[in-house]
Each structure stands twice: as C-alpha cells, then as structure tokens.
Amino acid sequence: MRIVTSALLVAAMAATPVLAQRTDENAVKSAEDAFGVTVGHESLGIYSADNIRGFSPGVAGNFRMEGMYFDVQAPVSGRVVAGATLRVGPAAQGQSFPAPTGVVDYVLRDSGNDYAASVVLDLDAYGSVGGELDMQLPIVTDHLSTAIGTAVRRDHFGNGGHVRSFSWGMVPRWRPAPEVEVTGFWGHIKRSDETTQGIYLAQGDFLPGRIRRGKLPGPDWVLNENVYDNYGVVSKAILGSWTIRAGLFRSEVRSGVGYLNLVALDTPTTGERIVAAFPAVDQASTSGELRVSREFSEGVRRHLFTVSMRGREVKNRNGDGDQAEFGSFDINARIAPPRPDFARGAITQDGVRHKTGAFAYSLAWQGLGELTLGAQRSRYVKNVRPEGQAQSRRVTQLWLPSMSIASPLSDRISVYGSYVKGLEDAGSSPSYAANANEILPAIRTSQWDAGVKWTPFQNATVIMGYFNVAKPYLALDQADIYRSIGHERHQGAELSLTAQVNDRLTIVTGAVMGRPRVSKSPLTNEVIGKRPVGQSDVSGQFNVDYSLPFVAEGLSVDGYASYQSRQAGTVDNAVMIHGYATFGVGGRYQWKWGKTPLTLRVQMGNIFNAYSYYAAGSGVYLPIDQRSASAYLVVDF
C-alpha cells in the first residue's frame, strides 16, 4: 500500500543502474507472486500474456511499456526488453488506470556507467541452435548509455516445424539531469522459412485420433515470411511535486503470403487436406500516452492527482484467401502435392482510432491504507473499406470508471479490492473461421476482485483472491463465423504462494479454481453449452528451486508440475477434452572462469510425455507439446 513519492523516483533515477547480469537470470527467484513473470529465457506463473483469468490481455490491448500505454501489433524483441510482469491481483492495486483481465508491463533493458556484455548459446533436442549477444555501453558518464543486442536462431519445434530468425535491438538512455530520463528503443525481428502447423477441425462430435507429434502433415511449400518492428521513446521527469511521463510507440508487421494448413476430419483418423493462401499483410499502429501527476502531503495523508491522455491509430491491410483441396488421407499421413496457383482475394483496409482521456485520485493514509478512484472517457472509431465497396464506420463512446482499495489489518495481513470497466479491441477472427482475419468491433468488459495478502514469515507471501470478469462470448457459430454469440463470465478463486524458505530453497506455487460459464444471447439461435470453449475450472503450477552447495558451489536443481482440468471442445459442450498434468526438471550451474561468470542451464519439459489437446476454437484442436529437452550457456563479460 503505497504511492510512489517524488523523492523515491528522484533517488531511483539518480542512482547508477544495476547492470543486469544474464548469468543471474532465474524466474523462480525473481517472482514476487505466482501469477506470471518472464525473466530472459525463463517464464513461470499460472497466467501468461495470452491468458489472465481465462482471457487474453494481449488480444484486449492491455500492454504497457515501462508503464505507458503501448498498442502491440508485432512481437517485441528480447533484445530490447529484459522481461515482463503481469499486473493482476495485488500487483494491479493502486494503478491509476487499470484494465480488466490485468496488464502486461514490459521492462526495457538497462544500461549505465559500466560496460557489460552477455553471450548466450543454446540448443535443444529437436535440433534448434541459437546465439545471442547483448551489450551495455556507457557513452557519456552519468548521462548517456545504450544497450544493444543481436540474435540468430534456427528453431525446430515439437510439432516438427522450423523457422530461421534474426533479431537486433538497441535501447539508448539519456539522463540530462538526475530528475529527467529519456529512453528510446528499436527492436527488429525477421522470421523466414517458417512452417505452418497443421490445424485439426473435427466435422462432428469427436476428438481427433492420436496425432503423431513432431511430424508435420505437409506440404513442404507452406512457408511464411514475417518482419516485425517495434520502436519508440519513453520519458519521465520529476519537477518538484509534479511528475511527467510520456511514451510514443510504433509497432509494425509486414508479412508475405500467409498459409493455413487444415485437416478437416470426417472421422477421428481421416480427413480432407486443405491449404488456404492469403495475400501479404501489413499492420501498423502508432500509440502513446502523456501522464501528469501532482502529489502533496498533509500529515499522515498523501494525495496524488493524475491526468492522462492516451490513444492509438491502427491501420491494417488484409486480403481474402483462396484454397486448394488435396483429398482425404490418414490423420498422420504426410502429403507432398505441388503448389497450385492461388488466386488473390479481395483486399480489405481497416483502421482504428482510439482516444482516451482519464483522471485519477489516490489517497494513501498511514495506518489505514490506500484508495484510488479513476474515470476514463474513451472514444473508439473503426473504419472498414473492402475492395470495391463503400467504407463503413462505427463509433463507440463511453465512460469507464475504476476503483481500488487496499488496507493493512496488521503488519503481516492486508486486504484489497477493485472494480474496473473496460473497452477492448476484440482483435480479428482466427484464420480457420469462415470470416478469417475479419477485424471485430470493440467489446465492453468489466471486472471486480478482492482478496487477502499475508506474509506469514520473512520472504514469504500468500495471496488469496476472488475475481469476477464479464465479457461477450466470442466463438464460431454454426456457419463457422467467429462472432459474439453470448455472454461469458469467469469467476473463481486464485492462490499464490512465494517463499524463500532458506538460503537454498525457493518455492513458487499458484492455482486457479474457477467457474467459467456462458449465458446465451437472446439474439442467437445457436446451441450453447454452459462452459466456454478451452477453459479449465482448475489449473495450477508448482515451481521449486534448490541449491546444492554441498555437492558443488553454484549448483542448483529445479522442477515444476502443471495441471489443467478438462475443457469444453465445442460451443455446445458435446465434446470434452480430458485434463492432464505435466512435469519438468532442470539444473543450473554457475561458476567463474577467472573473473568471467558463466551459467550452464539444462531443462526437460513434459518428462512423462503426457498427451492431450487444447482447443483453438470450437471443434478446432492442436495437440499439447511433447517431451522436450534444452540447454544453454550464458557468459557475462
């Protein structure tokens, strides 16, 4: 329960930054809760950027870069970001402008007055190899520095696919005064020779038969080329009791001809092979935020007033696809037909202009807690112009209130609660839908949650919370059109435990025990079951890290266990996917060669090779990843 004071911000900005040593990256030891964290190559948590409380904050546009609003269209390069934190539950309390289903907040790579460099070499059992180089370079002492990096990879996946990738990035930092910092970044990724995974569509109430993982269904020419760029600038300044923060960002996707590789199953073991081709795609977004805060204190009370203006302008260019059918084959047969001449479909251009003005007030009262009240006025304008047709336009305007409260009950126990409404981009319909790649209208959402945060002993935190999230239910209808066909509500309990038991043992574990349910819209004639597609009632993850100095100094072992309960495979709930558990083990050895730190990291995932499916849509299935093994070596200079 705190408001970040000007004094603390000044101190943090004035201090020489601690240079990130990649040999020390450890997600288990870095996690503040079990909800989700990414540190370098490692991620853990019951939630991810694709799934918080059963919904995708990424699809909803709830990304931030160093706390500033960032509309992400392209994957962000690891050469510019050191990791990301999922702000949900207590981690979201006190935010001036929260969002339903949480926020994914990227952290840029740091730099300062010292030179540093890290090399990472990695490989895995599928045949992947890669190398990364990250450097931090001082330019003008105390004022100007930069982080730069590059990576080259040849990845082979558990589904038998592969991709070649090249990436680079830079993060210059300018500190003209102790109270002012300006940080730029530019991250570039090029992916080529990227195979297209088979997608299995059941044409009835059944699951696919046993899919041979690690083998692509073919054909070999179904390859994709993609180029991703993200660049921008973040600035912050402390001017007495005033804090000014600003961010301006650009995110671009440029893709060649794209493919969809379908296996339309008429029985569990046989299906029609279909390949659809789509014209080249261009997507670009310019987004940003200006935030001004004023803080003042009176005795035991601190007041913080914040105003914000944020917005984005998105332009997309998508095309209708053409498809070719190659006959019916066994589910695991590999086909190798020649590439047909695909016709170019009609091109659709669409754009979004989304502007939001906001005001928030926070009161921190020593001994009582913290209260934050906010209101946002959002205006969403969407334009769609299909080739040869008139432009259509949709405008949505509404107020979005929010409130959060946190209060200590004792030195070790505090309670929290919040309510927030949101207006979210629903993204586009999936590639396997009849309206593939269609941009969907904005949707209205809401969320409230409450819970208890308990510190039973030093370096241990327990979070027990309840959440209730409501959104429109987006799914395939009986005509295979992806649209809203009802209302979806996810409610349940979430648990997080992080504990550094002693100098050797660290535990991070969490679980979600929910009740995701669907109610049918009176405007649809669809047959809808009570359970949303692809949602588990119970999921959990247990992570542990244990050092073994009595065997060798710097040696540690770690492991995880993950569980997902059964899920609905179809909108009408006629097909259910059985639950499954996966287990993994790993080890880490840190040592020095002279004065040079090194870390050797080995991992094995799904060690018992559990088999199940996850639903990519109603009646649309993919097998879970098979057993994997990987290793990488990190050297810090």
Amino acid at 264: A
230 class by beta-carbon count within 10 Å (0-12 exposed, 13-18 middle, 19+ buried) = buried
For residue 5, is pLDDT > 50?
A: no
Share of residues in the chain with pLDDT > 70 (%): 95
The answer to whether 54 touches 45, Cβ cutoff 8 Å, is no
- Asked if residue 151 is part of any domain, the answer here is yes
Looking at residues 126-137, what average pLDDT do you find? 94
Q: Which residue(s) pair with 324 in the sheet?
A: 275
> In angstroms, what CA-CA distances link 72 with 78, 93, 172, 228, 258?
14, 23, 20, 11, 20
Question: Do residues 354 and 312 lie in contact, with contact meaning Cβ atoms separated by under 8 Å?
Answer: yes
DSSP assignment of 186-213 equals: EEEEEEEEEE--EEEEESSS-------T
Taken as a whole, the chain contains a residue count of: 637
- Residues with Cβ < 8 Å from 413, sequence gap 6 or more? 452, 453, 454, 455
> Regarding predicted confidence, which is higher, 635 or 36?
635
Cα–Cα separations (whole angstroms), residue 424 to 52, 58, 307, 474: 15, 10, 21, 13
Per-chain mean pLDDT for the chain? 89
**What is the rounded distance in angstroms from the CA atom of residue 362 to the CA atom of residue 110?**
30
Residues 183-198, mean pLDDT to the nearest whole number: 95
The CATH number given to whatever domain includes residue 11 is: 2.40.170.20
Q: Give the HSE-up count for residue 421: Cα atoms under 13 Å, Cβ half-sphere.
A: 12
| pLDDT bucket at 308, cuts 50 / 70 / 90 | very high
CA 153 remoteness from chain centre = 22
What is the structure's pLDDT at 17? 34
For residue 439, pLDDT over 80 is answered with: no
> How large is the average pLDDT for residues 367-377?
94
Q: What is the torsion angle, in degrees rounded to the nearest 10, for the CA atoms of residue 75, residue 78, residue 82 and residue 83?
A: 40
Burial class of residue 176 in the structure, from the number of CB atoms within 10 Å of its CB (0-12 exposed, 13-18 middle, 19+ buried): exposed
Place of tokens 């290793």: 631
In one letter, which amino acid is 557? V
At 613, list the tokens.
């499916």
User: What pLDDT band is residue 428 in, cutting at 50, 70 and 90?
Assistant: low
Strand segments, DSSP code E, in 320-412 are 322-330, 347-365, 369-386, 392-408
Q: Could you tell me if residue 312 is inside a domain?
A: yes
Report whether the peptide linkage leading into residue 430 is cis, meaning its omega lies within 30 degrees of zero: no
SS (H, E, C) 137-183: EEEECCCEEEEEEEEEEEEECCCCCEEEEEEEEEEEEEEEECCEEEE
Token couple for 514: 């929910």
Two structure tokens written together for 366: 């020593």
Q: Is the pLDDT of residue 517 over 80?
A: yes
Q: Is this structure's pTM higher than 0.75?
A: yes
Specify the DSSP element, H or E, that contains 230: strand 223-239
Kindly report the CA angle at 117 between 156 and 126, in degrees rounded to 5?
10
Give the pLDDT band of residue 11 (cuts 50, 70, 90). Answer: very low
**What is the average pLDDT across 284-312?**
95
Res 431: pLDDT: 62
Compute φ and ψ for 575, nearest 5 degrees. -120, 130
- Is residue 146 within 8 Å of residue 19, measured between CB atoms? no
Q: Which residues lie below 8 Å from residue 411, measured CB to CB, with a gap of 6+?
A: none
pLDDT higher than 50, residue 7: no
Residue 372 domain-assigned (yes or no): yes
Coil, strand or helix: which one is 89? helix
The confidence score (pLDDT) of residue 9 equals 31
What is residue 22's three-state secondary structure?
helix
Choose the weakest-confidence range: 111-125, 338-352, 529-543.
Answer: 338-352
Residue range 136-165: mean pLDDT, rounded: 94
Which stretch of 56-70, 156-170, 198-212, 426-440 has the lowest confidence by average pLDDT? Answer: 426-440
Domain annotation covers residue 294: yes
* Domain span including residue 363: 6-333+342-636
Is residue 590 scored above 50 in pLDDT? yes
Average pLDDT over residues 13-27: 59
- Per-residue pLDDT tens digits for 558-575: 999 999 999 999 989 999
DSSP state string for 519-571:
EE-TT------SSPBT--SEEEEEEEEEE-TTTSTTEEEEEEEEEE--EE-ST
Closest CA to 170 of 181, 185, 156: 185
- Average pLDDT on 428-439 reads 70
1, part of any domain: no
CB count, 10 Å around CB of 329? 17
State the DSSP H helix or E strand holding residue 77, giving kind and residue range, or none if neither: none
What is the pLDDT, as a whole number, of residue 183?
97
Q: What is the pLDDT of residues 79-116, one digit of tens each?
A: 999 888 888 888 877 788 888 888 889 999 999 899 99
* The total number of structural domains that make up the chain: 1
Which of the four pLDDT bands, split at 50, 70 and 90, describes residue 12?
A: very low
Rounded CA-CA distance 70/635 in Å is: 32
